[in-house]
Amino acid sequence: MDYGLGVRLDRPFRQTVEAVTAALKEQGFGVLTTIDVQATMREKLGEELEEYLILGTCNPALAHRALQADRRIGLLLPCNVVVRTDGDATVVEAVDPQTLVTLAGSGGGLGEVADEAARRLGAALASLHG
């Protein structure tokens, strides 16, 4: 099962993180949390990992609509976006909102919210190629 949307870029990691944050903002998403997986693995386990961030993103209008449809949807929020290095490239991946609907069910209008969230996340990722 493919549960993500993604792009591979020939761009430095830090520059990509900045571009991703700006692209998400243009689509109405803000970054609520940033988890530095590389630093956590090093600190907690003494293990080395490539540069790897998990950005917890939220579009407040879409989150509100989703919560109106199903209060339990908060268990699946925020939408995660991963930025990680892979060799000489940087990969950006976002959870496919349709995956969340598969888990929660499409009742109460969740399907429409997921469609819009997927469209916006897809547009943000597509803009990174420009």
Residue extents of the structural domains in the chain: 4-127
**Both structure tokens of 9:** 């870029």
- Position 107 scores a pLDDT of 66
CATH superfamily of domain region 4-127: TT1751-like domain (3.30.310.70)
pTM value is: 0.93
What length is written for the chain?
130
Sheet holding 4-9, edge to edge: 4-9, 89-95, 79-86, 52-58, 30-36
Encoded amino acid at 51, one letter: E
Q: If phi over 0 gives left and psi between -120 and 50 gives alpha, with beta otherwise, what is residue 106?
A: alpha
**Tell me, what DSSP letter sits at residue 109?**
G
- Position 35 scores a pLDDT of 98
pLDDT tens sequence for the chain (130 residues)? 588 999 999 999 999 999 999 999 999 999 999 999 999 999 999 999 999 999 999 999 999 999 999 898 999 899 999 999 999 999 999 999 988 888 877 667 888 999 999 999 999 999 999 6
**Both structure tokens of 14:** 């830090």
**Both structure tokens of 121:** 């996340």
- Position 101 scores a pLDDT of 80
